[in-house]
Amino acid sequence: MSNINRRVPDVDQYIPLNDPPIGSAFPADIFPQNTKLPKLFQPITLRGVTFKNRIWVSPMCQYSSDNGHATDWHFVHIGGFATRGVGAICMEATAVVPEGRISPEDAGLWTDSQMEPLKRIVNFAHSQGTLIGVQLAHAGRKASTLAPWVHSSFGGTRRATTWTSKEDEGGWPNGVYAPSEVAFSPDYPTPKAMDDAYLQYVEDAFVKTVERCKEIGFDFIELHGAHGYLLHEFVSPLSNLRTDQYGGSLENRLRWPLRVISRCREAWSKPLFVRISATDWAEGPEKGPDGEWKQWGIEQSKIFLEEMQNLGVDLVDCSTGGNWVKQKITVGPGYQVPFAEELKKAYPEFPIGAVGMITEPEQAESYLQDGKADVVFLARELLRNPHWPLFAARKLGAAVKPANQYERAFADLLVPKSA
């Protein structure tokens, strides 16, 4: 038996090898408590890629990029998740064109110079046995806005008079594009309606960015079709007032987003996800008595999902809201999960991700056990407790691998117990 502290192979520095990978369950013949393994820690395979567990990091904007380039903040932020047992990490909304950023400090992948800092992050995640992807995005009419803490602090010490980031603040308020010339609110820029040339330019930009993702080495891509950003703006009748082939009927409103998804699918052989908002949370019914769709909602989302399934999308990440400034949402634990459940009922074989104030291990496990979703995406709870997967294993009675370097803090997970 060798007593060498083995290194991760094929990396340019010494990093101890974690075997099995961090966050994976130990074999039941050694740890009998894993005979009936919680679904959170059961692997899932999508398009030939196996994710070691079903606790995934949601994309979380950090408003910390340097002209779209990732920095050491991102390396530490993402690297911390990679060492703590999550099954997958989805990096934040990453713009495919400069004017598609939410804020001047948003991430981007519209030029080759933005690839190298992302390669460094991806390579580190892989050295820890963690899969990593990226969310590709265009902010549409919600572009050129201030970072949240620049607009207003949680402590209430400051509040800007507008959400719009002006030219002298790094913004581009006169270069914002959307399906229609309808601002999200009076505090946001008034967008220009996208003409055929700009539609083609953005569509091509998504494909070029997918090619960069291949070279970087991402394991999956998520397209951002939620939260009132460009793809969501197209599908919703509240933000899409066009009278051409891209507006009006549901078929027309879906036309361009589906074309973008289709071209990304053709260009990308690995798992492809799409995040949607399953409802606009606007007042009134989704469909009026005249049979016309009034706002975006779950019934149109089901039709959208069927179209994506036909195109070969591998998972829908089900969120809600963000497209109607007057939205009224009753927020509580798992408040968005019923929408994931509705999609899952409609298409039982289609993988669905659930999000939204998922904080407790028993809560997350119940969603998977009850068939409401196939994976859970966590955001703020992982910011509060990056070791959440190991705490979940402890609560659910599973034996799961901590990082070698952190084993002393989780010694109780490494004790075989009767099933």
Question: Which pair of structure tokens corresponds to residue 130?
Answer: 């963690």
d(CA 254, CA 142): 20
**246 has catalytic annotation:** no
d(CA 128, CA 126): 5
The catalytic residue among 229, 246, 367, 406 is 229
Q: At 361, which helix (H) or strand (E)?
A: helix 361-369
Amino acid 86 reads V
d(CA 410, CA 212): 38
Region for residue 99 given its phi and psi (left: phi exceeds 0; alpha: psi -120 to 50; beta: otherwise): alpha
d(CA 28, CA 289): 57
User: DSSP code of 397?
Assistant: T
Residues in the chain: 419
- % helix, strand, coil for the chain, step of 5: 35, 15, 50
Give Cα 289 to chain centroid, integer Å: 35
**Does a cis peptide bond (omega within 30 degrees of 0) precede residue 32?**
no
Task: Name the residue among 232, 233, 309, 229 with its Cα closest to residue 272.
Answer: 309
Count Cβ atoms within 10 A of the Cβ of residue 360 and give its class: 0-12 exposed, 13-18 middle, 19 or more buried: middle
Q: At 208, which helix (H) or strand (E)?
A: helix 196-216
Question: Whose structure tokens read 């910390």?
Answer: 64
User: DSSP code of 332?
Assistant: -
Q: At 259, which helix (H) or strand (E)?
A: helix 250-267
Give Cα 36 to chain centroid, integer Å: 29
d(CA 64, CA 67): 9
Which residues are known catalytic residues? 229
